[in-house]
Chain A
Amino acid sequence: MTEHTSPDDRLNELTAALPREVAPPPDLWPAIRAELAPRSARTIQWTPRWRLAAAGLLVAASSSILTLFAVRAREHTPAAVAVTPRDTAPVAEERLPAHLVVAERAYARSIDALWRTLDERRDSLAPSTVATVERSLRIADSAIAEARSALEHDPANRVLEDLLVSNYERKIDLLRRATELAPRT
Protein backbone atom coordinates (compact mmCIF):
# COMPACT_ATOMS: atom_id res chain seq x y z
CA MET A 1 0.00 0.00 0.00
CA THR A 2 1.27 3.48 -0.81
CA GLU A 3 0.57 6.75 0.97
CA HIS A 4 -1.67 7.87 -1.93
CA THR A 5 -3.88 4.79 -2.02
CA SER A 6 -6.86 4.51 0.28
CA PRO A 7 -7.51 1.23 2.09
CA ASP A 8 -10.72 0.78 0.07
CA ASP A 9 -8.88 1.22 -3.21
CA ARG A 10 -6.28 -1.25 -2.10
CA LEU A 11 -8.94 -3.71 -1.05
CA ASN A 12 -10.58 -3.37 -4.46
CA GLU A 13 -7.25 -4.03 -6.12
CA LEU A 14 -6.64 -7.10 -4.04
CA THR A 15 -10.17 -8.36 -4.59
CA ALA A 16 -9.82 -7.91 -8.33
CA ALA A 17 -6.66 -10.00 -8.23
CA LEU A 18 -8.47 -12.95 -6.70
CA PRO A 19 -9.38 -15.89 -8.93
CA ARG A 20 -12.95 -16.11 -10.31
CA GLU A 21 -13.37 -19.55 -8.80
CA VAL A 22 -11.87 -21.00 -5.66
CA ALA A 23 -11.94 -24.73 -5.10
CA PRO A 24 -13.21 -25.58 -1.62
CA PRO A 25 -10.72 -27.05 0.83
CA PRO A 26 -10.56 -30.87 0.55
CA ASP A 27 -11.82 -31.42 4.06
CA LEU A 28 -14.93 -29.26 3.62
CA TRP A 29 -16.92 -31.58 1.37
CA PRO A 30 -17.18 -34.56 3.75
CA ALA A 31 -18.75 -32.29 6.37
CA ILE A 32 -21.22 -30.88 3.86
CA ARG A 33 -22.02 -34.32 2.52
CA ALA A 34 -22.56 -35.68 6.02
CA GLU A 35 -25.03 -32.89 6.69
CA LEU A 36 -26.90 -33.35 3.42
CA ALA A 37 -27.11 -37.11 3.12
CA PRO A 38 -29.86 -37.94 5.61
CA ARG A 39 -32.19 -35.18 4.50
CA SER A 40 -31.58 -34.99 0.76
CA ALA A 41 -35.22 -35.71 -0.08
CA ARG A 42 -36.60 -33.01 2.17
CA THR A 43 -36.63 -29.27 2.31
CA ILE A 44 -34.12 -27.86 4.75
CA GLN A 45 -35.74 -26.23 7.75
CA TRP A 46 -33.75 -23.22 8.93
CA THR A 47 -33.83 -24.01 12.60
CA PRO A 48 -31.32 -22.30 14.92
CA ARG A 49 -29.18 -25.45 14.74
CA TRP A 50 -29.12 -25.25 10.93
CA ARG A 51 -28.27 -21.59 11.00
CA LEU A 52 -25.40 -22.36 13.36
CA ALA A 53 -24.12 -25.13 11.11
CA ALA A 54 -24.35 -22.87 8.08
CA ALA A 55 -22.51 -20.13 9.94
CA GLY A 56 -19.80 -22.61 10.87
CA LEU A 57 -19.37 -23.70 7.27
CA LEU A 58 -19.29 -20.08 6.16
CA VAL A 59 -16.58 -19.29 8.66
CA ALA A 60 -14.59 -22.36 7.61
CA ALA A 61 -14.88 -21.40 3.95
CA SER A 62 -14.09 -17.75 4.56
CA SER A 63 -11.08 -18.74 6.64
CA SER A 64 -9.70 -20.78 3.75
CA ILE A 65 -10.41 -18.01 1.29
CA LEU A 66 -8.68 -15.52 3.58
CA THR A 67 -5.62 -17.72 3.64
CA LEU A 68 -5.63 -17.82 -0.13
CA PHE A 69 -6.17 -14.08 -0.10
CA ALA A 70 -3.15 -13.55 2.13
CA VAL A 71 -0.92 -15.85 0.12
CA ARG A 72 -1.93 -14.33 -3.22
CA ALA A 73 -1.80 -10.77 -2.08
CA ARG A 74 1.60 -10.86 -0.45
CA GLU A 75 3.24 -11.17 -3.85
CA HIS A 76 1.99 -7.68 -4.69
CA THR A 77 2.18 -5.75 -1.43
CA PRO A 78 5.63 -5.43 0.03
CA ALA A 79 4.90 -2.27 2.01
CA ALA A 80 3.79 -2.14 5.62
CA VAL A 81 0.90 -0.14 7.03
CA ALA A 82 -0.42 0.81 10.41
CA VAL A 83 -3.38 -1.10 11.77
CA THR A 84 -5.79 -0.71 14.63
CA PRO A 85 -5.25 -3.47 17.17
CA ARG A 86 -7.99 -6.12 17.21
CA ASP A 87 -8.36 -8.96 19.61
CA THR A 88 -4.67 -9.71 20.08
CA ALA A 89 -2.18 -7.94 22.28
CA PRO A 90 -2.00 -4.31 21.24
CA VAL A 91 1.27 -2.49 20.74
CA ALA A 92 2.05 1.18 20.39
CA GLU A 93 2.83 1.15 16.69
CA GLU A 94 1.92 -1.87 14.63
CA ARG A 95 3.42 -2.49 11.25
CA LEU A 96 2.42 -5.54 9.31
CA PRO A 97 2.45 -6.32 5.59
CA ALA A 98 -0.63 -4.77 3.98
CA HIS A 99 -2.14 -8.05 2.87
CA LEU A 100 -1.94 -9.33 6.42
CA VAL A 101 -3.67 -6.23 7.70
CA VAL A 102 -6.58 -6.97 5.37
CA ALA A 103 -6.61 -10.63 6.33
CA GLU A 104 -6.32 -9.82 10.00
CA ARG A 105 -9.36 -7.53 9.91
CA ALA A 106 -11.38 -10.32 8.35
CA TYR A 107 -10.08 -12.78 10.92
CA ALA A 108 -11.14 -10.35 13.64
CA ARG A 109 -14.65 -10.16 12.19
CA SER A 110 -14.94 -13.95 12.15
CA ILE A 111 -13.61 -14.15 15.68
CA ASP A 112 -16.04 -11.47 16.91
CA ALA A 113 -18.99 -13.27 15.32
CA LEU A 114 -17.97 -16.62 16.79
CA TRP A 115 -17.39 -15.06 20.22
CA ARG A 116 -20.89 -13.60 20.20
CA THR A 117 -22.34 -17.00 19.33
CA LEU A 118 -20.26 -18.67 22.02
CA ASP A 119 -21.29 -16.11 24.61
CA GLU A 120 -24.94 -16.74 23.82
CA ARG A 121 -24.43 -20.45 24.36
CA ARG A 122 -22.07 -20.22 27.33
CA ASP A 123 -24.74 -21.01 29.93
CA SER A 124 -25.80 -24.15 28.08
CA LEU A 125 -22.30 -25.66 28.18
CA ALA A 126 -20.70 -27.53 31.05
CA PRO A 127 -18.42 -25.28 33.16
CA SER A 128 -15.50 -27.66 32.60
CA THR A 129 -15.96 -27.35 28.84
CA VAL A 130 -16.06 -23.57 29.02
CA ALA A 131 -12.89 -23.65 31.12
CA THR A 132 -11.12 -25.88 28.60
CA VAL A 133 -12.13 -23.66 25.70
CA GLU A 134 -11.12 -20.47 27.47
CA ARG A 135 -7.78 -21.91 28.53
CA SER A 136 -7.05 -22.98 24.95
CA LEU A 137 -8.13 -19.60 23.59
CA ARG A 138 -5.73 -17.87 25.97
CA ILE A 139 -2.92 -20.07 24.66
CA ALA A 140 -3.93 -19.29 21.08
CA ASP A 141 -4.09 -15.55 21.81
CA SER A 142 -0.69 -15.62 23.44
CA ALA A 143 0.81 -17.35 20.40
CA ILE A 144 -0.87 -14.87 18.03
CA ALA A 145 0.41 -11.92 20.02
CA GLU A 146 3.94 -13.30 20.10
CA ALA A 147 4.06 -14.10 16.39
CA ARG A 148 2.44 -10.77 15.53
CA SER A 149 4.91 -8.79 17.60
CA ALA A 150 7.83 -10.61 15.99
CA LEU A 151 6.39 -10.00 12.52
CA GLU A 152 6.10 -6.28 13.18
CA HIS A 153 9.84 -6.23 13.73
CA ASP A 154 10.55 -8.48 10.75
CA PRO A 155 7.67 -7.96 8.28
CA ALA A 156 9.39 -9.75 5.40
CA ASN A 157 9.76 -13.00 7.31
CA ARG A 158 7.60 -15.56 5.43
CA VAL A 159 8.01 -18.21 8.13
CA LEU A 160 6.63 -15.82 10.73
CA GLU A 161 3.80 -14.83 8.45
CA ASP A 162 2.74 -18.43 7.88
CA LEU A 163 2.95 -19.16 11.60
CA LEU A 164 0.78 -16.15 12.42
CA VAL A 165 -1.86 -17.17 9.87
CA SER A 166 -1.85 -20.73 11.21
CA ASN A 167 -2.29 -19.46 14.77
CA TYR A 168 -5.31 -17.42 13.68
CA GLU A 169 -6.81 -20.39 11.85
CA ARG A 170 -6.38 -22.70 14.82
CA LYS A 171 -8.06 -20.13 17.05
CA ILE A 172 -10.98 -19.68 14.64
CA ASP A 173 -11.34 -23.42 14.26
CA LEU A 174 -11.40 -23.88 18.03
CA LEU A 175 -14.05 -21.17 18.38
CA ARG A 176 -16.12 -22.71 15.60
CA ARG A 177 -15.96 -26.12 17.26
CA ALA A 178 -16.92 -24.61 20.60
CA THR A 179 -20.01 -22.99 19.08
CA GLU A 180 -21.08 -26.34 17.64
CA LEU A 181 -20.94 -28.26 20.92
CA ALA A 182 -24.15 -29.86 22.04
CA PRO A 183 -25.89 -28.35 25.11
CA ARG A 184 -24.78 -29.68 28.51
CA THR A 185 -21.54 -31.08 27.12
Chain B
Amino acid sequence: MALVAVAASATSLHAQRKVHTAYAVTPDVSVRLFASVGTVQVIGWDKDSVVVSGVVAQGSQVSLGTPGAGPTRGLKLFVESPTEKAVREGSLTVRVPRGARVWLKTGSADVTASEVTGGLDLNVVGGSITVHGSPRELRAESMDGAVTIDGSPSWMRVKTATGDIALRGGEDVGASTISGTIDARGGEVERVKLESTTGAIHFALALARGASVEMETHSGPIDVQLSRKSPPEVDAATVTATIENMWSKTQPTAGREGRGMSLELGGGQMGGRVVLRSFKGKITLRGM
Protein backbone atom coordinates (compact mmCIF):
# COMPACT_ATOMS: atom_id res chain seq x y z
CA MET B 1 0.00 0.00 0.00
CA ALA B 2 3.03 2.19 -0.34
CA LEU B 3 2.04 3.86 -3.51
CA VAL B 4 0.23 7.12 -3.14
CA ALA B 5 -1.10 9.09 -6.06
CA VAL B 6 1.69 9.59 -8.48
CA ALA B 7 0.79 11.57 -11.52
CA ALA B 8 -1.87 12.56 -13.94
CA SER B 9 -0.58 13.90 -17.16
CA ALA B 10 -1.96 14.73 -20.53
CA THR B 11 0.69 15.15 -23.19
CA SER B 12 -0.02 16.02 -26.78
CA LEU B 13 0.94 13.40 -29.34
CA HIS B 14 -0.23 14.30 -32.82
CA ALA B 15 -4.00 13.60 -32.52
CA GLN B 16 -3.73 11.74 -29.25
CA ARG B 17 -3.29 12.56 -25.62
CA LYS B 18 -1.22 10.47 -23.29
CA VAL B 19 -2.88 9.44 -20.04
CA HIS B 20 -1.17 8.18 -16.92
CA THR B 21 -2.45 8.22 -13.39
CA ALA B 22 -2.11 6.06 -10.30
CA TYR B 23 -3.97 5.62 -7.04
CA ALA B 24 -3.29 3.85 -3.77
CA VAL B 25 -6.25 1.56 -3.15
CA THR B 26 -7.49 -1.23 -0.94
CA PRO B 27 -7.00 -4.81 -2.24
CA ASP B 28 -10.73 -5.15 -2.88
CA VAL B 29 -11.22 -1.75 -4.50
CA SER B 30 -14.24 -1.18 -6.72
CA VAL B 31 -13.32 0.43 -10.03
CA ARG B 32 -15.98 1.84 -12.34
CA LEU B 33 -14.74 2.78 -15.77
CA PHE B 34 -16.68 4.20 -18.67
CA ALA B 35 -14.37 4.37 -21.65
CA SER B 36 -15.21 5.20 -25.24
CA VAL B 37 -11.88 4.08 -26.64
CA GLY B 38 -10.74 1.40 -29.08
CA THR B 39 -9.15 -1.07 -26.70
CA VAL B 40 -9.14 -1.60 -22.95
CA GLN B 41 -6.89 -4.00 -21.09
CA VAL B 42 -7.63 -4.79 -17.47
CA ILE B 43 -4.77 -6.56 -15.74
CA GLY B 44 -4.75 -7.87 -12.18
CA TRP B 45 -1.49 -7.49 -10.26
CA ASP B 46 -0.06 -8.01 -6.80
CA LYS B 47 0.01 -4.35 -5.81
CA ASP B 48 -2.48 -2.30 -3.84
CA SER B 49 -2.71 0.34 -6.51
CA VAL B 50 -4.65 1.16 -9.63
CA VAL B 51 -2.69 2.50 -12.56
CA VAL B 52 -4.41 3.80 -15.68
CA SER B 53 -2.22 4.45 -18.70
CA GLY B 54 -2.60 4.80 -22.43
CA VAL B 55 -3.68 7.29 -25.03
CA VAL B 56 -6.97 8.93 -25.89
CA ALA B 57 -8.03 10.98 -28.89
CA GLN B 58 -7.32 14.69 -28.79
CA GLY B 59 -10.38 16.50 -27.47
CA SER B 60 -11.54 13.59 -25.32
CA GLN B 61 -13.20 14.29 -22.01
CA VAL B 62 -11.11 12.58 -19.38
CA SER B 63 -12.02 12.28 -15.74
CA LEU B 64 -9.73 9.95 -13.89
CA GLY B 65 -10.73 10.84 -10.37
CA THR B 66 -8.83 12.75 -7.73
CA PRO B 67 -6.27 10.73 -5.81
CA GLY B 68 -6.88 10.96 -2.09
CA ALA B 69 -4.45 10.96 0.81
CA GLY B 70 -4.90 7.31 1.71
CA PRO B 71 -5.90 4.09 -0.01
CA THR B 72 -9.33 4.40 -1.56
CA ARG B 73 -12.03 1.73 -1.77
CA GLY B 74 -13.76 3.05 -4.85
CA LEU B 75 -12.72 4.78 -8.06
CA LYS B 76 -14.69 6.21 -10.95
CA LEU B 77 -12.94 6.80 -14.24
CA PHE B 78 -14.45 8.32 -17.34
CA VAL B 79 -13.14 8.76 -20.87
CA GLU B 80 -15.32 10.01 -23.70
CA SER B 81 -14.00 10.57 -27.21
CA PRO B 82 -15.10 13.67 -29.15
CA THR B 83 -16.37 11.73 -32.18
CA GLU B 84 -17.23 8.16 -33.08
CA LYS B 85 -14.27 8.05 -35.45
CA ALA B 86 -11.88 9.19 -32.72
CA VAL B 87 -12.92 6.33 -30.44
CA ARG B 88 -10.60 3.88 -32.18
CA GLU B 89 -7.60 6.09 -31.47
CA GLY B 90 -7.90 5.54 -27.73
CA SER B 91 -6.28 2.68 -25.88
CA LEU B 92 -6.17 2.17 -22.13
CA THR B 93 -4.45 -0.26 -19.81
CA VAL B 94 -5.86 -0.47 -16.31
CA ARG B 95 -3.88 -2.33 -13.68
CA VAL B 96 -5.84 -3.27 -10.58
CA PRO B 97 -5.27 -5.41 -7.48
CA ARG B 98 -6.20 -9.00 -8.29
CA GLY B 99 -9.07 -8.94 -5.80
CA ALA B 100 -10.60 -5.78 -7.26
CA ARG B 101 -14.12 -5.50 -8.57
CA VAL B 102 -14.13 -3.87 -11.97
CA TRP B 103 -17.18 -2.45 -13.73
CA LEU B 104 -16.43 -1.44 -17.30
CA LYS B 105 -18.83 -0.06 -19.86
CA THR B 106 -17.75 0.82 -23.37
CA GLY B 107 -19.04 0.95 -26.92
CA SER B 108 -16.96 -0.61 -29.63
CA ALA B 109 -13.84 -1.33 -27.59
CA ASP B 110 -12.13 -4.68 -27.64
CA VAL B 111 -11.82 -5.53 -23.96
CA THR B 112 -9.30 -7.95 -22.51
CA ALA B 113 -9.18 -8.79 -18.82
CA SER B 114 -6.63 -11.05 -17.22
CA GLU B 115 -5.47 -12.18 -13.78
CA VAL B 116 -8.38 -10.62 -11.90
CA THR B 117 -9.69 -12.90 -9.14
CA GLY B 118 -12.29 -10.50 -7.74
CA GLY B 119 -15.24 -9.45 -9.86
CA LEU B 120 -15.63 -8.33 -13.46
CA ASP B 121 -18.70 -6.68 -14.94
CA LEU B 122 -17.90 -5.96 -18.59
CA ASN B 123 -20.35 -4.41 -21.02
CA VAL B 124 -19.63 -3.66 -24.67
CA VAL B 125 -21.79 -3.08 -27.72
CA GLY B 126 -19.78 -3.79 -30.83
CA GLY B 127 -16.41 -4.79 -29.46
CA SER B 128 -15.22 -8.12 -28.20
CA ILE B 129 -14.63 -9.33 -24.66
CA THR B 130 -11.86 -11.74 -23.75
CA VAL B 131 -11.26 -12.85 -20.18
CA HIS B 132 -8.23 -14.87 -19.12
CA GLY B 133 -8.19 -16.35 -15.62
CA SER B 134 -10.93 -17.16 -13.18
CA PRO B 135 -12.59 -14.24 -11.44
CA ARG B 136 -14.93 -15.03 -8.58
CA GLU B 137 -17.80 -13.28 -10.36
CA LEU B 138 -17.99 -12.46 -14.02
CA ARG B 139 -20.70 -10.74 -15.97
CA ALA B 140 -19.96 -10.12 -19.64
CA GLU B 141 -22.50 -8.58 -21.99
CA SER B 142 -22.08 -7.70 -25.63
CA MET B 143 -24.49 -6.92 -28.43
CA ASP B 144 -22.70 -8.13 -31.53
CA GLY B 145 -19.15 -8.67 -30.33
CA ALA B 146 -17.73 -12.07 -29.45
CA VAL B 147 -17.21 -13.07 -25.83
CA THR B 148 -14.42 -15.52 -24.97
CA ILE B 149 -13.91 -16.73 -21.42
CA ASP B 150 -10.62 -18.57 -21.05
CA GLY B 151 -10.94 -19.65 -17.43
CA SER B 152 -13.36 -21.10 -14.92
CA PRO B 153 -15.12 -18.36 -12.94
CA SER B 154 -17.05 -19.37 -9.85
CA TRP B 155 -20.09 -17.45 -11.05
CA MET B 156 -20.51 -16.33 -14.64
CA ARG B 157 -23.27 -14.85 -16.77
CA VAL B 158 -22.60 -14.09 -20.42
CA LYS B 159 -25.11 -12.50 -22.78
CA THR B 160 -24.98 -11.43 -26.40
CA ALA B 161 -27.43 -10.59 -29.15
CA THR B 162 -25.53 -11.70 -32.23
CA GLY B 163 -22.04 -12.24 -30.81
CA ASP B 164 -20.53 -15.69 -30.42
CA ILE B 165 -19.74 -17.04 -26.96
CA ALA B 166 -16.87 -19.39 -26.08
CA LEU B 167 -16.32 -20.62 -22.56
CA ARG B 168 -14.48 -23.33 -20.65
CA GLY B 169 -16.75 -24.05 -17.73
CA GLY B 170 -16.91 -22.95 -14.11
CA GLU B 171 -19.02 -23.59 -11.05
CA ASP B 172 -22.20 -21.70 -11.86
CA VAL B 173 -22.42 -20.74 -15.51
CA GLY B 174 -25.10 -19.07 -17.60
CA ALA B 175 -24.80 -18.05 -21.24
CA SER B 176 -27.53 -16.65 -23.43
CA THR B 177 -27.65 -15.36 -26.98
CA ILE B 178 -30.19 -14.58 -29.66
CA SER B 179 -28.36 -15.60 -32.83
CA GLY B 180 -24.75 -16.06 -31.76
CA THR B 181 -23.22 -19.47 -31.20
CA ILE B 182 -22.25 -20.93 -27.83
CA ASP B 183 -19.19 -23.13 -27.69
CA ALA B 184 -18.48 -24.70 -24.28
CA ARG B 185 -15.48 -26.99 -24.21
CA GLY B 186 -12.16 -27.72 -22.53
CA GLY B 187 -13.07 -27.59 -18.84
CA GLU B 188 -15.48 -28.78 -16.18
CA VAL B 189 -18.79 -27.44 -14.95
CA GLU B 190 -21.09 -27.86 -11.94
CA ARG B 191 -24.19 -25.92 -12.93
CA VAL B 192 -24.74 -24.53 -16.37
CA LYS B 193 -27.57 -23.16 -18.45
CA LEU B 194 -26.95 -22.36 -22.12
CA GLU B 195 -29.69 -20.85 -24.24
CA SER B 196 -30.09 -19.44 -27.71
CA THR B 197 -32.88 -18.44 -30.03
CA THR B 198 -31.32 -19.39 -33.36
CA GLY B 199 -27.64 -19.88 -32.53
CA ALA B 200 -25.93 -23.25 -32.43
CA ILE B 201 -24.90 -24.68 -29.07
CA HIS B 202 -21.90 -26.98 -28.78
CA PHE B 203 -21.21 -28.54 -25.38
CA ALA B 204 -18.17 -30.65 -24.57
CA LEU B 205 -17.43 -29.95 -20.91
CA ALA B 206 -16.67 -32.55 -18.26
CA LEU B 207 -19.34 -32.73 -15.57
CA ALA B 208 -18.55 -32.32 -11.88
CA ARG B 209 -20.17 -34.78 -9.50
CA GLY B 210 -23.93 -34.21 -9.46
CA ALA B 211 -23.70 -31.56 -12.17
CA SER B 212 -26.80 -29.83 -13.47
CA VAL B 213 -26.78 -28.99 -17.18
CA GLU B 214 -29.55 -27.28 -19.13
CA MET B 215 -29.52 -26.31 -22.78
CA GLU B 216 -32.38 -24.71 -24.62
CA THR B 217 -32.86 -23.32 -28.10
CA HIS B 218 -35.62 -22.35 -30.46
CA SER B 219 -34.05 -23.33 -33.75
CA GLY B 220 -30.30 -23.67 -33.30
CA PRO B 221 -28.75 -27.13 -33.36
CA ILE B 222 -27.58 -28.53 -30.01
CA ASP B 223 -24.52 -30.77 -30.17
CA VAL B 224 -23.60 -32.40 -26.85
CA GLN B 225 -20.59 -34.55 -26.01
CA LEU B 226 -20.91 -36.60 -22.82
CA SER B 227 -18.68 -39.00 -20.95
CA ARG B 228 -19.54 -42.70 -21.20
CA LYS B 229 -17.52 -43.50 -18.06
CA SER B 230 -19.74 -41.58 -15.66
CA PRO B 231 -22.94 -41.14 -17.65
CA PRO B 232 -25.39 -38.46 -16.55
CA GLU B 233 -29.15 -38.76 -16.60
CA VAL B 234 -30.40 -37.27 -19.87
CA ASP B 235 -33.80 -35.74 -20.57
CA ALA B 236 -34.04 -34.44 -24.15
CA ALA B 237 -37.12 -33.25 -26.01
CA THR B 238 -37.89 -31.37 -29.20
CA VAL B 239 -41.13 -30.01 -30.58
CA THR B 240 -40.53 -30.64 -34.27
CA ALA B 241 -36.85 -31.53 -34.64
CA THR B 242 -35.00 -34.82 -34.61
CA ILE B 243 -32.77 -36.22 -31.88
CA GLU B 244 -29.76 -38.27 -32.89
CA ASN B 245 -28.17 -40.37 -30.16
CA MET B 246 -24.64 -41.51 -30.96
CA TRP B 247 -23.72 -41.58 -27.27
CA SER B 248 -25.62 -44.68 -26.20
CA LYS B 249 -27.68 -47.44 -27.76
CA THR B 250 -31.06 -46.11 -26.68
CA GLN B 251 -32.96 -44.50 -29.51
CA PRO B 252 -35.28 -41.51 -29.12
CA THR B 253 -39.03 -41.94 -29.41
CA ALA B 254 -41.43 -39.93 -31.52
CA GLY B 255 -43.07 -37.04 -29.73
CA ARG B 256 -46.71 -36.14 -29.28
CA GLU B 257 -48.81 -36.51 -32.40
CA GLY B 258 -45.79 -37.85 -34.22
CA ARG B 259 -43.99 -34.51 -34.16
CA GLY B 260 -40.65 -33.99 -32.49
CA MET B 261 -38.77 -36.52 -30.40
CA SER B 262 -37.87 -37.28 -26.82
CA LEU B 263 -35.10 -39.25 -25.18
CA GLU B 264 -34.82 -40.16 -21.51
CA LEU B 265 -31.80 -41.99 -20.18
CA GLY B 266 -31.01 -42.96 -16.60
CA GLY B 267 -27.51 -42.18 -15.47
CA GLY B 268 -25.02 -43.18 -12.84
CA GLN B 269 -25.17 -41.77 -9.32
CA MET B 270 -22.36 -39.30 -9.86
CA GLY B 271 -22.97 -38.26 -13.43
CA GLY B 272 -25.43 -35.44 -12.88
CA ARG B 273 -28.40 -34.49 -15.02
CA VAL B 274 -28.59 -33.05 -18.51
CA VAL B 275 -31.80 -31.43 -19.78
CA LEU B 276 -32.03 -30.50 -23.46
CA ARG B 277 -34.93 -28.59 -25.00
CA SER B 278 -35.42 -27.47 -28.57
CA PHE B 279 -38.30 -26.30 -30.69
CA LYS B 280 -36.90 -27.12 -34.12
CA GLY B 281 -33.14 -27.33 -33.72
CA LYS B 282 -31.69 -30.80 -34.05
CA ILE B 283 -30.22 -32.35 -30.90
CA THR B 284 -27.18 -34.60 -31.28
CA LEU B 285 -25.56 -36.59 -28.47
CA ARG B 286 -22.02 -37.92 -28.87
CA GLY B 287 -19.48 -39.64 -26.70
CA MET B 288 -16.63 -37.62 -25.28
Contacts and interface: CB of A to CB of B under 8 A. Distances in A.
Given A30-B121, A146-B218, A170-B176, A132 B155 contact: no
Given A30-B139, A34-B121, A150-B279, A140 B30 contact: no
The majority secondary structure among interface residues of chain A is helix
A143 interface: yes
Nearest to A135: B162
A132 B127 CA distance: 13
B268 to A, nearest CB: 25
B218 A163 contact: yes
Contacts of A159: 237-239, 277
A8 interface: no
A150 B239 contact: yes
Given A30-B119, A38-B74, A129-B126, A140 B106 contact: no
A146 B279 CA distance: 9
B157 interface: yes
Interface string B86-127: 000000000000000101011110000000000101000110
Interface string A121-150: 000001011001101100110010011001
Nearest to B198: A139
A177 B141 contact: yes
A38 B141 contact: no
Contacts, number: 116
B239 A185 contact: no
B159 A163 contact: no
B36 interface: yes
A90 B157 CA distance: 33
Nearest to B257: A154
Contact of A177 (B101, B143, B256): B143
Nearest to A160: B239
B161 to A, nearest CB: 4
A132 B161 contact: yes
A184 B84 contact: yes
Interface residues of A, number: 37
B16 to A, nearest CB: 19
B178 interface: yes
A79 interface: no
B30 A147 contact: no
A53 to B, nearest CB: 12
Contacts of B101: 34, 37
Interface in A81-104: none
A66 to B, nearest CB: 17
A42 to B, nearest CB: 11
A136 B178 contact: yes
Given A38-B30, A167-B218, A174 B237 contact: no
Interface in A149-185: 150, 154, 157, 159-160, 162-163, 166-167, 170, 173-174, 177-178, 181-182, 184-185
Which 3 residue pairs spanning A and B have beta carbons closest together?
A: A185-B107, A143-B218, A136-B161
Interface of B: 30, 32, 34, 36, 74, 76, 84, 101, 103, 105-108, 119, 121, 125-126, 137, 139, 141, 143-144, 155, 157, 159, 161-162, 172, 174, 176, 178-179, 195, 197-198, 216, 218-219, 237-240, 256-257, 277, 279-280
15 contacts: A30-B137, A31-B121, A38-B30, A126-B84, A136-B162, A136-B178, A139-B178, A146-B279, A150-B240, A157-B239, A159-B238, A159-B277, A160-B279, A166-B216, A185-B36
